[in-house]
Amino acid sequence: MQLTQLVRTLGPTDLKLLGRDRFLLVLLGFIVYIGVLMRFGLPWLNTYLAANGVLPSETVALHLSDVYPMLVAFFAIFDGALIAGTVSGFMLIDEKDDRTLQAMLVTPVPFRQFVLYRVGVPAVMSVFIVTALVLFIGQALVPLWQLLLIAAGASLAAPMVALFYAIFSANKVQGFAMAKFVGIAGWVILVGWFIDEPWQWLFGLFPPFLVSKAYWLAFAGDARWWLALVAGIVLQLGMLWVMVRRFHAVAYR
Query: Predicted confidence band at 16 (pLDDT cuts at 50, 70, 90)?
Result: confident
Type of residue at 55: L
For residue 60, the model assigns a pLDDT of: 85
Quote the percentage of the chain above a pLDDT of 70: 93
Q: What's the whole-model pTM score? A: 0.93
Which segments of the chain does DSSP mark as H helices, in order?
A: 3-20, 22-51, 68-72, 79-97, 100-104, 111-137, 144-155, 157-168, 172-185, 187-193, 207-219, 225-251
Q: What is the mean pLDDT of residues 185-201?
A: 94
Q: Tell me how far apart the alpha carbons of residues 164 and 6 are, in angstroms, rounded to a whole number.
A: 23
Q: What is the mean pLDDT of residues 111-122?
A: 86
Query: Predicted confidence band at 29 (pLDDT cuts at 50, 70, 90)?
Result: very high
C-alpha dihedral sign at 58, 220, 48, 33: negative
**Domain edges within the chain:** 3-251
* 21 vs 98, residue with greater confidence: 21
Neighbours of 239 (CB within 10 A): 16
For residue 195, the model assigns a pLDDT of: 95
Q: What is the mean pLDDT of residues 71-94?
A: 94
